Structure 1
Amino acid sequence: MWNSSAIDRRRFVKAAGLGFLAALQPRALMALERADAVYASGMRDANGSYAVATVTERGEIVDRVALPARAHGMAFSQATGKTVAFARRPGTYAMIFDAHGTTDPIVIASVEGRHFYGHGAFSPDGRILYASENDFDANRGMIGLYDATNRFARIGEFETYGVGPHDMTVTDDGRMLVVANGGIETHPDTGRTKLNLTSMQPSLTLIDSATGGLIENHALPPQWAQVSTRHVDIDDSGRIWFACQYEGHRNDLPPLVGSFAKGEDLRFVELPEETTRRLANYVGAIAVNRNDGLVGVTSPKGGVAVTIDARSGKVLSETTVPDAAGIAPATDGFAVSSYDGDFLGSRSSVAWDQHIVRIAPSRRL
């Protein structure tokens, strides 16, 4: 039987090279050789220090790179093997590293008047890194463009046509940027305080990656103006899935997950009432498993991971995961991490951060 996991593992080990493998401790090398998949995630060690870790689906840490401060989201380039850890809002750094250890990490800083929003994505060819940013004095969302062929020098910026951009991604053909504008105003002078909860304008925008021009702007309807659009992913058909966090009354039952495609209106998934209650008005991460036709979401506040059929929108499973954090496609379903050290059921002394990304060289799952 064809085993995609074994091929992923062999490709990763081959790409890593002798230098990377020789630097690993025997226990880490053994973990890598046994791994079906390899991921990257920000973490906080037991001593309080921050790092980004290369980790197997068993929760075994293969390697780690120290970070100057807490990270949030991750981005990975299939074309180049580069991984990026973005600072948590309102952080001002992003660290780019090679999981194979063939080059030294690069740390970049946001320009004056900007801070990172914790997310970004590579162009399909790996030549450009896009990062969600806040132009905080003008209260407008921006996408910073960084040249991956020139040590990630900043080469420009695009508007996101909204406020508070959080997660973003790039379509498979590289032509469009997809941005979740959460609609929440913040300013570094007030830390993480949300300044406009009574006048939010969340939206999802499609932006021309060549010109920065607005292609489509999908504002949420007025009755759901406090449903902050936060995270996005794309399925095999090109459909965009989004997840939300509600800033209204805690007893409300707002829609939290939806999808759309270019030229279509937003469509919310009609989750069962009990599922919505379990999500506790807060979806912290979303991921698509393209091979299995699944959408997965997690809620740290609800302590749950939910799997949805991408075709029917039906909830297939709900799994209790206290402090559920990151989610990424696995060979079968999803890998889920937690703030209290759980990674697919394996417990460790580290605290995994909000997001994980699969970095084993493979076709997009």
Structure 2
Amino acid sequence: MTTLLPPSLIDRRGFLKAAGAGFAAALLPHQTMALDRTDAVFATAFQRRDGGYGVAVLSEAREIVYSTALPDRGHDVTFDPVSGRSVVFARQPGTFMVVFDHSGREKTRTIASVENRHFFGHGVFAGDGALLYATENDFDNAAGMVGVYDARDGFRRIGEFPTYGVGPHELLLLGDGRTLAIANGGIETHPDFGRAKLNLPTMKPSFAFVDRLTGALMEQHFLPPALHKLSIRHIALDGDGAVWFGCQHEGPATERPLLVGKARQGEELVLVEMPDDVLAGFRNYIGSVAANPAAGTIAVSSPQGNRYAVIEARSGRVLADKPLVEVCGLAPDDGGFRATTGTGDILAADGSETVLDDYAWDNHLLRIG
């Protein structure tokens, strides 16, 4: 099967074409110059030091070229290169997603979750941009769901299907354009109890492959029973079609389970061995996973451990282990990775760095170019 690049990867020219003249005209002069100097843009949610929330588009030169306010804390962003629109999702257990259109053809709009559902912070567009899929919580029944939204009809919710697990988090679309890979974290939550984890003794994380058109379960994989407290959370697709995943361990802090693995249809889940010092440095928490298919590498971050690591995708060998305070956001950047932090740091792959003190960047960073 041929692996396609994720739909978020387009070049600058394609981004500007999708954005249209309205976007370019609305930029301040220094923002226009920033876009002129860049080959890529990056999107991320943030919190300002004054307490306000928003989402920003950053240039390759680490300058803010677009931002809009959010009603509360955001989590991840997905982009549709067909329409040029992006969607940022509320952090669990948030009940909004915000659609922002760089072209200026549409006003920013807020879409509320339906009754008895909340978002888990992630979503993905179909390849043609017609539908948006979002992980949601049917909290009264402790069941994970994928909400289906018609992106060509005001993001009207037109249906849902199960994730075949509890506490789904990130999902992505595989290269066939039809299969969704879904990380079911296994943790039961209910908004009446905030972010409290209600089922730790019995949690059962899983990795599911689901047909986005029929909602049918194609495959489901579980970790060994001894690792049932290893919550599968974030995922990324490498250049060979394998889905890499990062976990958060809900067991005793003294335990040191492997935290990173990969999944492939027709095969069992594989956990990747790491040197003891690297594994211990993550403090049982992987906050983000990103792939650089061109470089053949994967990056994983731990804001709890204040570090991130780069892994060779083919061998699983750790190539680099880097300290960075409150690092979480990761995105492919030339031959390496760009990282963002809760202290306002933006670190490019070449080592150049900018700190915007007024901003705490949230957990994820999306490359749009």
Q: What range describes the TM-score normalised by the shorter chain of this pair?
A: over 0.9
Partner amino acid, structure 2, of 1:261: R
| d(CA) in 2 for partners of 1:39, 1:323 | 19
Partner amino acid, structure 2, of 1:176: T
1:23 and 2:26 equivalent? yes
- Kindly state the Cα deviation for residue 164 of structure 1 after the two structures are TM-superposed: 0.3
Equivalence for 1:347 = 355
Given candidates 293, 311, 318, the residue that maps to 1:315 is 318
Equivalence for 2:203 = 200
SS of equivalent to 2:363: strand
Cα 1:114–1:151 change in 2 (3 A) is same
After TM superposition, list the pairs within 5 Å mapping 1:164-243 onto structure 2: 164-243=167-246
Partner amino acid, structure 2, of 1:209: R
More moved, 245-254 vs 15-24: 15-24
Structure 2 gap ranges (5+): 1-9, 348-352
Partner amino acid, structure 2, of 1:45: R
Q: Note if contact 2:21-2:103 (Cα within 8 Å) is conserved in structure 1.
A: no
Partner amino acid, structure 2, of 1:346: T
TM-score when scaled to structure 2?
0.93
User: Deviation digits for residues 312-357 of structure 1, max 9, x if unmatched?
Assistant: 1000111111000211111221111001101112100211011111
Equivalence for 1:109 = 112
Q: Note if contact 1:206-1:217 (Cα within 8 Å) is conserved in structure 2.
A: yes
1:63 and 2:66 equivalent? yes
Cα 1:222–1:141 change in 2 (3 A) is same
1:295 and 2:298 equivalent? yes
Equivalence for 1:160 = 163
User: Deviation digits for residues 149-200 of structure 1, max 9, x if unmatched?
Assistant: 1011001001001000011111122211111000000000000011111111
| d(CA) in 1 for partners of 2:214, 2:290 | 28
Q: Note if contact 1:295-1:307 (Cα within 8 Å) is conserved in structure 2.
A: yes
Given candidates 240, 244, 247, the residue that maps to 2:247 is 244
Q: Note if contact 1:58-1:343 (Cα within 8 Å) is conserved in structure 2.
A: no
| d(CA) in 1 for partners of 2:113, 2:242 | 31
User: Deviation digits for residues 128-149 of structure 1, max 9, x if unmatched?
Assistant: 1000000000000000000011
Given candidates 117, 136, 145, the residue that maps to 2:148 is 145
After TM superposition, list the pairs within 5 Å mapping 1:85-124 onto structure 2: 85-124=88-127
SS of equivalent to 1:354: coil
Given candidates 347, 362, 366, the residue that maps to 1:357 is 366
SS of equivalent to 1:355: coil
Structure 1 gap ranges (5+): 1-6, 361-365
Partner amino acid, structure 2, of 1:206: F
Partner amino acid, structure 1, of 2:133: Y
Equivalence for 1:363 = none
| d(CA) in 1 for partners of 2:70, 2:51 | 12
Q: What count of residue pairs does the alignment treat as equivalent? A: 354
Q: Note if contact 2:19-2:84 (Cα within 8 Å) is conserved in structure 1.
A: no
Cα 1:146–1:15 change in 2 (3 A) is closer
Q: Note if contact 1:256-1:282 (Cα within 8 Å) is conserved in structure 2.
A: yes
Given candidates 127, 132, 137, the residue that maps to 2:130 is 127
Q: Note if contact 1:57-1:343 (Cα within 8 Å) is conserved in structure 2.
A: no
Equivalence for 1:306 = 309
- Kindly state the Cα deviation for residue 14 of structure 1 after the two structures are TM-superposed: 4.2
Alignment RMSD: 1.3
More moved, 303-312 vs 79-88: 79-88
Equivalence for 1:44 = 47
Partner amino acid, structure 1, of 2:325: P
Q: Note if contact 1:243-1:285 (Cα within 8 Å) is conserved in structure 2.
A: yes
| d(CA) in 2 for partners of 1:272, 1:133 | 35
Q: Note if contact 1:160-1:207 (Cα within 8 Å) is conserved in structure 2.
A: yes
Partner amino acid, structure 2, of 1:306: A
SS of equivalent to 1:19: helix
Q: Note if contact 1:146-1:154 (Cα within 8 Å) is conserved in structure 2.
A: yes
Q: Note if contact 2:15-2:81 (Cα within 8 Å) is conserved in structure 1.
A: no
| d(CA) in 1 for partners of 2:60, 2:307 | 19
Equivalence for 2:75 = 72
Given candidates 5, 13, 20, the residue that maps to 2:16 is 13
| d(CA) in 2 for partners of 1:350, 1:209 | 36
| d(CA) in 2 for partners of 1:331, 1:104 | 33
SS of equivalent to 1:198: helix
SS of equivalent to 2:202: coil
Q: Quote the sequence identity (%).
A: 49
Q: Note if contact 2:88-2:98 (Cα within 8 Å) is conserved in structure 1.
A: yes
TM-score when scaled to structure 1?
0.94
| d(CA) in 2 for partners of 1:232, 1:18 | 34
More moved, 148-157 vs 56-65: 56-65
